[in-house]
Amino acid sequence: MKTSKSILLAVAFICLAILGAALYLQHYQNMQPCPLCVIQRYAFAAIALVCLICAGLPAGAQKAGAGLGILAALGGAGTAIWHLWIIAHPAVSCGRDVLEAPMNALPPATLLPSVFQVDAFALCTTAYDPIMGLSIPQWSLLGFVILLVILVATLFKRGNGSNRRY
């Protein structure tokens, strides 16, 4: 059975790969991120950061890292669900005007604008072509659900017994 450390590192790698795919779509396919897309990026980045940090810590801290990753994944999944609801109901706004300025003022948006800055003209209802049959928020939701399953399994994983004292 895999150790919690290797699982946390794998989860971090998956999150970084998802962020890389988002950057590819943004910079090479001209799919500009809306506020909800950027919030989902923050969730993937938070999961990656927590997993990377906690992977090098003792087993108890690794479990805590899995718990924090679960919270970030739940927040990201909720945002993806809200994004899908907005796409299904285009009369509802994603709050671009309200969210754009505060999100772009956050430190990650000023330090890494190509990753975390909301595009001034991106709308949450923009219909990009599906990728292998799914929209970007659907892929994002699928990613969060997979990460949730992995992190929950890691959190509730029993030790292999080699470190137990009798």
What is the DSSP code string of 124-147? TT--PPPBTTB-HHHHHHHHHHHH
At residue 49, the pLDDT reads 95
Which residues make beta-bridge pairs with 131? Answer: 134
Q: What is the pLDDT of residue 71?
A: 95
| Mean per-residue pLDDT pooled into runs of 10, the chain (166 residues) | 82 95 90 87 95 86 88 95 87 68 82 78 73 90 95 80 46
Q: What is the pLDDT of residues 41-83, one digit of tens each?
A: 999 999 999 999 988 888 788 888 889 999 999 999 999 999 8
For the chain, the straight-line distance linking the first and the last C-alpha, in angstroms and rounded, comes to 22
Q: What is residue 159's predicted lDDT score, i.e. its pLDDT?
A: 62
Query: What domains lie within the chain, and their CATH numbers?
Result: 4-119+133-155 (1.20.1550.10)
